[in-house]
Structure 1
Amino acid sequence: MPRDAKPPLIQKIADQAHTTFASADGKARPDAQAELVRLAGEIRASDLRIAAPKTKSSKPSRHSPPVTYMHICQTDAFSMGVFLLRRGASIPLHDHPGMDGILKVLYGKVNIRSFDKLDRPADGECDGLFDPPLAPGAHKDALWRSTLRSTGEFSEESGPCVLTPLQDNLHQIRAVGGPAAFLDILAPPYDPGDGRDCHYFRVLEAAARSDEAQAWLLEVPQPESFSCGAEPYPGPEVSNKDILS
């Protein structure tokens, strides 16, 4: 890149993500993260040379995946890409173990429902709460107590959504009223070999609690109705060399 050339915004975001998350202890620097959120809030679909489908009423082929992903870049510290949701598509409730994240809507509108995972129930704690009852042993291996952190709709005019290892770490994302797309930054990236695999959950209706908005989440296999394909990223190239320099 010529010395006097201005780097694209997405390169600035990648550089700032590295500054934020590439620390020896793996923890985000609060001041750097605030600047990263600010930069992410400025990104628009046009900056990445993508645009919403022109005809919202058009339906994709039944063989097309409901969600696709455009990979932008990845380092040991973070990954960045764009998720595109078809009309009516939803990314099921899932987690980001030990990860920070930033989500910025680029076009369309999404509903995001976020939970905080608390802990597993004690033996016998869930007896009689569910109808029909859970399978034997399920409460020990696949059930989590959680708190509904937030739910709301977000558009390109909204600021970025931020998740941490402890807050808003589980979420479900659903396209509202048409197709939608969002920039997604995760730090560190998913890595099953290092304990950061994606897990899916189903919300179970439990006995009402008057003291807190608590819910029970059952870990489930990836829903058969959900799949994620890949699309080429058409935007400005992000240089890992520039990130690491």
Structure 2
Amino acid sequence: MPADSTMSSIVQRIARQALVTFRSPPRFGEEPSKSFLENHGKLRSLMTEVRAPDLKLVPRRSDDSSPRAPLYHPGAPPVTYMHICETDQFSMGVFLLKSGASIPLHDHPGMHGMLKVLYGKVRISCFDRLERPAGGPQAEPALPPAQMGALRRSVLRSTAEYTEESGPCVLSPDRDNLHQIDAVDGPTAFMDILAPPYDQDEGRDCHYFKVLTEAGPTGSEQKDKEVWLMEISQPSHFWCGGEPYPGPEFP
């Protein structure tokens, strides 16, 4: 079987399965149906299989300065995005991070998602928002009154490292919905599915946050530790550029 045929099949199968899976996804607080769980499991299995060659991606080096690697040109953004496809139900693409780059802590309002590393390694820290308790045990940080409305009581769910051999990182509207993604030990790329896509008019805008209470040294974070997050503007050190997607085309 020609290589291109194999490459096309897995990426297009993922897109078709995503369309089926997210046609009627559970919303925040809803119990997922048996049908959704079955289709979600199929999508997760397909995402586990995908590799960089399936999208015609060649892993990049930290010192790569060839014309085919615009990510490393002087003044280039720390993160770039390759758009694969988008429907009303989901969007799919590839993020490429330079060595040492991060996608800051951000949310996915009312959205499901899957992230699969294609090469390199990333560290992902996942948080969830919590309802503010009336007179709860955790005191709010002392901030100017104008900033108090930006506080979000949250919980650190997990911090883990992912490689191309790992299964996908999965998020839902009410679990692991906020996360930060850091490139570890060199450049990395990951395939990303969000359902439904970001849409500011529909209330699905991306918000950025910073941790006001430290979650502990890297590698020893306490799972389910409650923290205070503060909503902030997009950090000045982060911006995302675009580059062409070289893989299989979609009708």
Structure 1 residue runs without a partner (length 5+)? 240-245
Tell me if the contact between 1:121 and 1:143 (Cα under 8 Å) persists in the aligned partners.
no
- Specify whether residues 234 and 192 from structure 1 end up closer, same or farther in structure 2 by C-alpha distance, changes over 3 A only: same
1:207 Cα deviation from its structure 2 partner: 11
Q: CA deviation at 1:226?
A: 0.4
Runs of 4+ aligned structure 1 residues displaced above 4 Å come to 24-28, 120-127
Does residue 23 in structure 1 map to residue 24 in structure 2? yes
CA distance, structure 1, for counterparts of residue 197 and residue 207 of structure 2: 14
Deviation, structure 1 residue 120: 4.3
Residue identity in the other structure for 1:42 = E
In structure 2, how many angstroms separate the alpha carbons of the residues matched to 1:17 and 1:40? 10
Q: Is the 8 A contact 1:14 1:238 kept in 2?
A: no
Q: How many residues align?
A: 229
1:106-136 CA deviation, whole Å, 9 max, x = no partner? 0000000000111346589876x53xx3121
2:58, 2:9 → 1: CA distance? 18
- Secondary structure of residue in 2 paired with 1:84: strand
Contact conserved, 1:121 with 1:144, CA < 8 A, in 2?
A: no
Instruction: Please state whether the residue corresponding to 1:8 is helix, strand or coil.
Output: helix
C-alpha distance in 1, partners of 2:215/2:199?
A: 36
Distance, in Å, in 2 between the alignment partners of 1:75 and 1:63 is 32
Matching residue of 1:243? none
Q: RMSD of the TM alignment (CA)?
A: 2.6
Given the two structures, how large is their TM-score scaled by the length of structure 2?
Answer: 0.84
Deviation track 1:74-111 (CA, whole Å, cap 9, x = no partner) reads 00000000000001100000000000000000000000
Structure 2 residue matching 1:145: 3-state secondary structure: strand
Q: In structure 2, do the counterparts of structure 1 residues 218 and 122 end up closer, same or farther at CA, with 3 Å as the change threshold?
A: farther
Q: Deviations over 1:36-81 (max 9, x none)?
A: 000010000000001111x334573441000000000000000000
Match of residue 10 from structure 2 = 9
Partner of residue 230, structure 2: 218
Tell me which residue corresponds to 1:242: none
Q: Aligned to 1:189, what secondary structure does the other structure show?
A: coil
Aligned partner of residue 68 in structure 1, secondary structure: strand
Write the distance in 2 (CA, Å) between the matches of 1:56 and 1:211.
32
The unaligned stretches of length 5 or more in structure 2 are 66-71, 217-221
Query: What is the identity, as a one-letter code, of the residue corresponding to 1:77?
Result: Q
2: distance between equivalents of 1:122 and 1:15?
Answer: 45
2:62 — aligned with what? Answer: 56
Q: Within 5 Å, which residues of 2 pair with 1:111-126?
A: 111-120=123-132
Confirm or deny that 1:102 pairs with 2:102. Answer: no
Residues 220, 9 of structure 1: CA spacing in aligned structure 2 closer, same or farther, 3 A cutoff? same
TM-score, scaled relative to structure 1: 0.86
